[in-house]
Amino acid sequence: MTPTIKIVLSLGLAAFVAGCGRPSNVSNDADHSIANANMESMLDSKPDNPVHSIVMPHDEPPFPPGPGRDEFVTACVVCHSPRYITMQPRFSHATWLSEVKKMKDVYGAHISDEEVLKITDYLVSINGKADSGQAPKGTYGE
């Protein structure tokens, strides 16, 4: 990111706080609600406004308790949404292990080898399947 971009701290914070506790404007379907009731008001109403800002919605899906949950929440969610887990099909232990190792070895997640195993176990417990013996290895990017 270059210094030419200003993060509008006070504006964004105000909108974020104001967004809480208000009804969602998004969907009539209860399963699809998201807290961007005030997002639209954050958009520039005048096209000649030189500062263009948005406020991103947020998502905190509930995660079931279990061994490794704390490590998962601490180490993984700091960089990406937990939806990176929940959108995947059920993968084998080998595939999840490969994914968690990639996070540590390639992207530099701050986790120990022991935590790699704990997090893998947790991911298998919430979105895993039995090993098939030919788990496709993970890859980079998409």
Partner 1 sequence: MNRRGFLQLIGATGAAALTASCNRINSVVGTSSTPDLVRFPEKTEMILLTDRPPQLETPLHYFRQDLTPNEAFFVRWHLEGIPTSVDLRTFRLNVSGHVRQPLQLSVDDLHSQFEPFSIVAVNQCSGNSRSFFEPRVPGGQWKHGAVGNAKWTGVPLKSILDRAQVKPGAVDVSFNGLDAPPLPSVADFVKALSIDHARDGEVMVAYAMNDQALPMVNGFPIRLVVPGWYGTYWVKALSDITVLPQAFSNFWTDKAYRIPSGPNGTESPKDLAKDTIPINRFNARSIFVRPEPDETLHAGIPNEIEGVAFDSGHGIKRVEVSTDGGGTWTDARLDPELGKYSWRRWRASWTPKNRGQYRLMARATNAIGETQSQGQWNRSGFMWNVISQVDVKVG
Q: Which of residues 101-130 bind partner 1 (CB under 8 A)?
A: 106-110, 126-127
Residues in contact with partner 1, shown as a per-residue x/- string from 21 to 60 under the rule CB under 8 A? xxxx-xx-xxxxxxxxx-xx-xx---x--xxxxxxxxxxx
Contact 35, 27 (CB under 8 A): no
Which of positions 67-106 make contact with partner 1 (CB under 8 A)? 78-81, 83-91, 95, 99, 106
Q: For partner 1, which is the closer residue by CB, 33 or 117? A: 33
Distance CA 104, CA 88 (A): 19
Site of tokens 């009539």:
28
Answer yes or no whether residue 9 interacts with partner 1 by CB under 8 A.
yes
Closest CA to 77 of 51, 47, 110: 110
Within 8 A by CB and 6+ apart from 6, the residues are 51
> Among residues 46, 64, 113, 114, which is the contact residue for partner 1, using CB under 8 A?
64
